[in-house]
Amino acid sequence: MGQYVRHVFVCTHGEFCPFDGSAEVHRLLKEGVAARGLKKSVRVNKAGCFNQCGNGPMVVIYPDNVWYGKVTPERAQRILDEHIVGGRVVQDLVYDAPPGPNKNAGRMADINAARAAAGTRPPGSS
Ligand code: FES
């Protein structure tokens, strides 16, 4: 038997999800779990890239094996209330893609262009 009823992973250490706000999504989910007294049964962890770059912020919930993409703070609140607390998958927010890497080259190019214009680099790059 596992340690947690649900284990939530947020891509906060990939090159692209952080640009679209994954740190805030992680914070909202982690604080929301704590505020509801669920820290013993639900773990919210930061994670590296899920190979779905440009479709983020990405959130994955196990053992349900449910993936959510483009998770805004508002969507994170729904995922918290409906799925993590309520146990019901938020069907209209589910990320539906074939197994394996599914990168959104257009969004990745936009993020890289924005970074180049701002003179910034992705997190973790030197
Ligand atoms: S950067 Fe988040 S899935 Fe790749």
pLDDT digits (tens, 9 = 90+) for 3-53: 999 999 999 999 999 999 999 999 999 999 999 999 999 999 999 999 999
SS3 45: strand
Among the ranges given (65-69, 95-99, 117-121), the one the predictor scored with the smallest mean pLDDT: 117-121
Please report, for the chain, the start and end positions of each structural domain, with discontinuous segments joined by +.
6-118
Per the CB < 8 A criterion, the answer to whether 35 and 69 are in contact is no
> Residue 126 — pLDDT band, cuts 50, 70, 90?
low
Residue list, ligand 1 pocket, CB within 6 Å: 11, 14-17, 49-50, 52-53, 56, 58
The whole-model pTM stands at 0.95
- Which is the CATH superfamily of the domain at 6-118? Glutaredoxin (3.40.30.10)
- What's the CA gap between 32 and 8, in Å, rounded? 12
How many Å lie between the centroid of ligand 1 and the Cα of residue 22? 10
